[in-house]
Chain A
């Protein structure tokens, strides 16, 4: 028979497909984050948060943490080794270790900064995840699929902000005395042992046009202390606030482009 046999054709076709796949992978490997970074902020939504440090108090952070963890069924362990936290307070020197110096003003020193997932525009956690269990949505939210996560914890090594927690034990078996009525929100799923979790920017509330739980709580206690909005919209409250005030972000030198802004003055 002349020409190429069926077997030969399949071999060549298979090999070419493999080469193409490897080539594409190689490109993705060398230029990680390019796809995400190329989404223009003017097109589509990019959710972000500005936290006005002139208004935030440790009490507000404590209440935010309580309502967030209550809403998302985050159990309390009272043990830093296995704790799970989506939002919490940290002093300036630990929130911004690269900005810390001996003569930081008393005011800044007295503050507690609310920390949560930065929903980075160029998130290393999504880059390193081997299964795509953590990925970035088109609107910028860094999401988690708790049913796909294999618990390798590569994302925890990849996150420079310590925003991720692992379920070292079964969260449903967390100490009863510390977690009365757990799960506290039957509408929200509980997690299994052995998966990573973190803040989701309350994606399911945003979909319904509601604000994230922490934003709602903080603004109840002090108006405009947490400003949530779309960076893609030049007329959004967050863009207005950022235009007007001086703000800082955590570890910007790493190129992750965090989307939590802290208004200082």
Chain B
């Protein structure tokens, strides 16, 4: 099946070469970071996690969201999603790969990564995150690949593939729950110390991931002979709508608890994010951008006319991606470290090398995604022909 990735249009190759260039730039800068240390990033003694860990968190959500096309198909026998399940699984593979890469570029001493296995510490949530993420990667590779191989041969997938697909459903929930636990169990980080962190993570995952998938579906339909299906895309729109409403609802619950209780430690990070604290407010314009896109997305997803019409649905999906990315890929991690344990504000902003290394990781993910989708769509085109 891999040979399908080697035959493609000049546009396909051009896109891959473009991604390879970004990957190359990121890799060279990473080599530099590896040599001199993480001081080339914007991270500091006070804000000790930054852009890398924030991207990691966002992408765990994208990975988990594969379940939103897998679950209706396998559990509810919603046959129409059969066209999309492989795409959801392949997107999950690319997303988990990016997660692992973001963890790796964030480590101070990468060559010692193996210590996590050599000296396992089950009391650390990071240990469990390693297990669930790698397990999820394996499950999606096995299920996605074998289901696609069966589709190519025109046979039904084997029973063990279905069993693994069933296992992958709760597993998807587990990866984002465990990732939320990385933050939600730390005493003294009041912004993260909230029981609703995991549900909020899942809600934001289940709108952002399907929104990305939906946008990719529009591109696929334009560029290839494979049609993901009008009804399928409309159903995705419904899933995005519900999950995004939940996501915003959970966020408002955070606001209520913090501001009605008036406990300063619980308000400080939110005040910093949206208004600025002690005269520092670097993230405020971003957070208001998040609010703007959230409101636009909410309206467009709730109004039936704009949700059902394809071009407006595409705009709404793009708004969801932007809003959730600012919320989780920027505000959530940085906000947790500001103010610091001494109630002082030390601001963080990513540096150019840090952003370019992140772009390199994203490019790697899109490279894998493109190749996998190319294989899947070539096979789907062949089967249809």
CB contact under 8 A between A93 and B108, given known A130-B126, A153-B49: no
- Establish whether residues B45 and A83, one from each chain, have CB atoms under 8 Å apart when the complex forms: yes
A-contact bits for B216-246, CB 8 A (1 contact / 0 none)? 0000000000000000000000000000000
Main DSSP-derived SS at the A contact region: loop
The number of chain A residues with a CB under 8 A from chain B is 56
A-contact bits for B327-344, CB 8 A (1 contact / 0 none)? 000000000110011111
Measured CB to CB, the closest approach of chain B to A193, in angstroms, equals 4
Measured CB to CB, the closest approach of chain B to A150, in angstroms, equals 4
Segment at the A interface, from B33-41, B281-289, B307-315, B354-362: B33-41
B-contact bits for A118-150, CB 8 A (1 contact / 0 none)? 000000100111111100000000000000111
| Chain A positions 154-178 with a Cβ under 8 Å from a chain B Cβ | 154, 156-162, 165-170
B159 CB contacts on chain A under 8 angstroms:
none
- Establish whether residues A129 and B344, one from each chain, have CB atoms under 8 Å apart when the complex forms: no
- Establish whether residues B126 and A162, one from each chain, have CB atoms under 8 Å apart when the complex forms: no
Whose C-beta in chain B lies nearest to the C-beta of A154? B126
- Establish whether residues A167 and B122, one from each chain, have CB atoms under 8 Å apart when the complex forms: no
The answer to whether A58 has its CB under 8 Å from any CB of chain B is no
B121 CB contacts on chain A under 8 angstroms:
129-132
- Establish whether residues B123 and A170, one from each chain, have CB atoms under 8 Å apart when the complex forms: no
A192 CB contacts on chain B under 8 angstroms:
109
The answer to whether A55 has its CB under 8 Å from any CB of chain B is no
- Other-chain contact of B108, A29, A129, A162, A167 (Cβ < 8 Å): A167
Measured CB to CB, the closest approach of chain B to A116, in angstroms, equals 13
Tell me, in angstroms, the Cα distance from A157 to B188 when the chains sit together: 9
- Establish whether residues A254 and B187, one from each chain, have CB atoms under 8 Å apart when the complex forms: yes
A to B contact number (C-beta, < 8 Å):
154
- Establish whether residues A194 and B107, one from each chain, have CB atoms under 8 Å apart when the complex forms: yes
- Establish whether residues A170 and B36, one from each chain, have CB atoms under 8 Å apart when the complex forms: yes
Measured CB to CB, the closest approach of chain A to B46, in angstroms, equals 7
Measured CB to CB, the closest approach of chain A to B253, in angstroms, equals 23
The answer to whether B115 has its CB under 8 Å from any CB of chain A is yes
Measured CB to CB, the closest approach of chain B to A198, in angstroms, equals 11
Tell me, in angstroms, the Cα distance from A199 to B352 when the chains sit together: 33
- Establish whether residues A167 and B37, one from each chain, have CB atoms under 8 Å apart when the complex forms: yes
- Establish whether residues B342 and A95, one from each chain, have CB atoms under 8 Å apart when the complex forms: yes
Measured CB to CB, the closest approach of chain A to B195, in angstroms, equals 15
Tell me, in angstroms, the Cα distance from A97 to B342 when the chains sit together: 7
The answer to whether A94 has its CB under 8 Å from any CB of chain B is yes
The answer to whether A80 has its CB under 8 Å from any CB of chain B is yes
- Establish whether residues B343 and A131, one from each chain, have CB atoms under 8 Å apart when the complex forms: no
Measured CB to CB, the closest approach of chain B to A215, in angstroms, equals 23
- Establish whether residues A82 and B108, one from each chain, have CB atoms under 8 Å apart when the complex forms: no
The answer to whether A195 has its CB under 8 Å from any CB of chain B is yes
The answer to whether B134 has its CB under 8 Å from any CB of chain A is no
The answer to whether B76 has its CB under 8 Å from any CB of chain A is no
Whose C-beta in chain B lies nearest to the C-beta of A33? B123
The answer to whether A152 has its CB under 8 Å from any CB of chain B is yes
The number of chain B residues with a CB under 8 A from chain A is 46
- Establish whether residues A131 and B116, one from each chain, have CB atoms under 8 Å apart when the complex forms: yes
Tell me, in angstroms, the Cα distance from A153 to B112 when the chains sit together: 14
- Other-chain contact of A124, B36, B115, B187 (Cβ < 8 Å): B187
The answer to whether A81 has its CB under 8 Å from any CB of chain B is yes
Tell me, in angstroms, the Cα distance from A94 to B341 when the chains sit together: 8
The answer to whether A6 has its CB under 8 Å from any CB of chain B is no
The answer to whether A42 has its CB under 8 Å from any CB of chain B is no
B-contact bits for A85-106, CB 8 A (1 contact / 0 none)? 0000010011101101000000
CB contact under 8 A between A152 and B39, given known A94-B342, A159-B341, A162-B46: no
A84 CB contacts on chain B under 8 angstroms:
45
- Establish whether residues B346 and A80, one from each chain, have CB atoms under 8 Å apart when the complex forms: yes
CB contact under 8 A between A149 and B109, given known A90-B342, A124-B186, A254-B187: yes
The answer to whether B44 has its CB under 8 Å from any CB of chain A is yes
Tell me, in angstroms, the Cα distance from A157 to B2 when the chains sit together: 43
Measured CB to CB, the closest approach of chain A to B353, in angstroms, equals 13
- Establish whether residues A93 and B37, one from each chain, have CB atoms under 8 Å apart when the complex forms: no
The answer to whether B260 has its CB under 8 Å from any CB of chain A is no
Tell me, in angstroms, the Cα distance from A162 to B188 when the chains sit together: 10
Measured CB to CB, the closest approach of chain A to B313, in angstroms, equals 38
| Chain A positions 167-225 with a Cβ under 8 Å from a chain B Cβ | 167-170, 192-196
CB contact under 8 A between A150 and B341, given known A168-B39, A195-B109: no
A-contact bits for B119-142, CB 8 A (1 contact / 0 none)? 101111111101000000000000
Tell me, in angstroms, the Cα distance from A21 to B128 when the chains sit together: 13
The answer to whether A66 has its CB under 8 Å from any CB of chain B is no
A98 CB contacts on chain B under 8 angstroms:
265
The answer to whether B200 has its CB under 8 Å from any CB of chain A is no
- Establish whether residues B115 and A169, one from each chain, have CB atoms under 8 Å apart when the complex forms: no
Measured CB to CB, the closest approach of chain A to B91, in angstroms, equals 26
- Establish whether residues B109 and A151, one from each chain, have CB atoms under 8 Å apart when the complex forms: yes
Tell me, in angstroms, the Cα distance from A170 to B40 when the chains sit together: 12
- Establish whether residues A194 and B108, one from each chain, have CB atoms under 8 Å apart when the complex forms: yes
Tell me, in angstroms, the Cα distance from A169 to B346 when the chains sit together: 19
Measured CB to CB, the closest approach of chain B to A242, in angstroms, equals 24
The answer to whether B89 has its CB under 8 Å from any CB of chain A is no
- Establish whether residues B115 and A148, one from each chain, have CB atoms under 8 Å apart when the complex forms: yes
Whose C-beta in chain B lies nearest to the C-beta of A256? B187
The answer to whether A229 has its CB under 8 Å from any CB of chain B is no
Tell me, in angstroms, the Cα distance from A161 to B341 when the chains sit together: 6
Tell me, in angstroms, the Cα distance from A124 to B49 when the chains sit together: 17
The answer to whether A44 has its CB under 8 Å from any CB of chain B is no
5 contacts between A and B (CB under 8 A): A32-B123, A130-B130, A150-B107, A193-B109, A194-B37
Across the A-B interface, the 10 shortest Cβ-Cβ residue pairs: A151-B108, A160-B188, A194-B108, A25-B122, A162-B341, A168-B39, A130-B126, A97-B343, A94-B342, A254-B187
Q: Apart from A130-B116, A148-B115, A167-B37, list 6 A-B contacts with CB within 8 A.
A: A81-B45, A131-B112, A156-B48, A160-B341, A166-B48, A256-B187
